[in-house]
Structure 1
Amino acid sequence: MQWRDWRRWLDGLSVVVLLAYGWLAWSVQTGTTAIDPVYADLRARGVLRVAVDAGYRPFVEERGGRLVGFDIDLITALANELGFEVVFVRSGFDALYDQLTSRQADLIASALPYAPEQGYRARFSQPYFDGGLMLLTRNDSTIADLADLRGQRIGVVLGSEGDALAYRFAQTTPLHRYTADEAAPLIEALQRGEVDAIILDHVTALGALATGDLRIATALSYEPYVLVMPASAFQLESEINRALDRLKEQGVLHELQRRWMLKGE
């Protein structure tokens, strides 16, 4: 074959490849073909199967034989946005990812932090909640961040991530560290003025705000909670993210946070 023929053949192949990519992008955007096998099965079935571990209040727990919580209400709203029914698949925490790889579930919703090390078998939605550490003070306090804790009294739950953070900070900044076995005594001590600030996870911190005389001064760490789906479910990921955006715009996530964390249902 002469060079001119080779060039004509390569030009033709390039056109075919470009057309193929164009068709692929168009088909995904318009939904005319389901090249994501998970999403294809989901649309054919009409039922979103969601793996949950009923062991982390207020996200998922069992009451009177039924599942309730932030994640349960979130998934119910998501399924409604997407036009699917929803079935919750109960699972132990350690088996949640196995539910995806064994095709027993299409999604995990169980207050799971983003875990890039699981990327070989899963993909993740955009974050829907930050479970990181928060610095709480009284409403009349001038404390705004860790730098303001020099010489102050700070309360932490013994052995918690907040305890470890305060311990590291105390190596370079003088402060008085107070510990308790759980959050409730620390919250009471802060309200009575016996400590100047406390470090709690975001869920517990929001519950503490229900007293009305405390505030979150600043976030100290970031731990995004995400929804998890099989690695091949790129189309489902896109649909889930779009639905989450709509729920945020509608104020649904804020209302769920108020209902399950501020009011403590």
Structure 2
Amino acid sequence: MDTEKVVTHIVNWLKEYATNARVNGFVIGISGGIDSAVTSTLCAKTGLDVLCIEMPIHQAESHVTRAQEHIALLKEHFDNVKDIRVDLTPVFEEFKTEVSLEGKQATVDMALANTRARLRMTTLYYHAGLLGLLVAGTGNKVEDFGVGFYTKYGDGGVDLSPIADLVKSEVYELGEYLQVPESIMKAAPSDGLFGDARSDEDQIGASYPELEWAMHMNDIGKNEEDFDGRAKEVFRIFKRYNSANKHKMIPIPICEIPNNLKQSLNIS
């Protein structure tokens, strides 16, 4: 990959899109991970306004530290970057007092994890509306179109996706080129939705390099029977997530009504 030209291409695309949309720039949630670090840096390079928002909800301290380190570095290099911190922990806790928490613990935990992501989406769009900004998504190709590892109408609720055509290894290439802090480059990828430091690999059962491989094998028409051992297990994991999360990757289904069932509009 020609990293320098890819960076230039994305920055130009972002700037052109924002200019045509007649907005002032971008708002982005900063998590302390590689995807938000790369995306926010690309947005900053447009020269347009960039608002970085920290939105902790019982966040692991390591995530908070990395996010703050990245934001400080961005502000040091780009005059167009501003930041705010919105502590959503009290909002999240109040939400829990108003809904039922009955059911299987794993199911409740997942529903609450997705609620965290949706509270953050709401916060981003609130500030986007106030300041005339676009919400920049941070999903990469493996997450968005491979395993669907994001929350529908949470971190999947965005206006544009600058890095969604890049697999995770390519995002890391951009991160190195853009001089993202070493602490972020070395950190295990994590969605940060459970209030601890569990990694994406802990949740999915496969690493991003493995998932990239499985995604490629799937794209060229391979089947589970083509593999043995760990390769077979990884491919099975990929297919399971890809199938279960397909609803996130396709347009919302519309029930089309046959014309003969619709009343004709009588115009006199």
Same fold (TM over 0.5): no
- Between structure 1 and structure 2, the one with the greater Rg is 1
Greater helix fraction, Structure 1 or Structure 2: 2
Q: TM-score when scaled to structure 2?
A: 0.31
Q: TM-score when scaled to structure 1?
A: 0.31
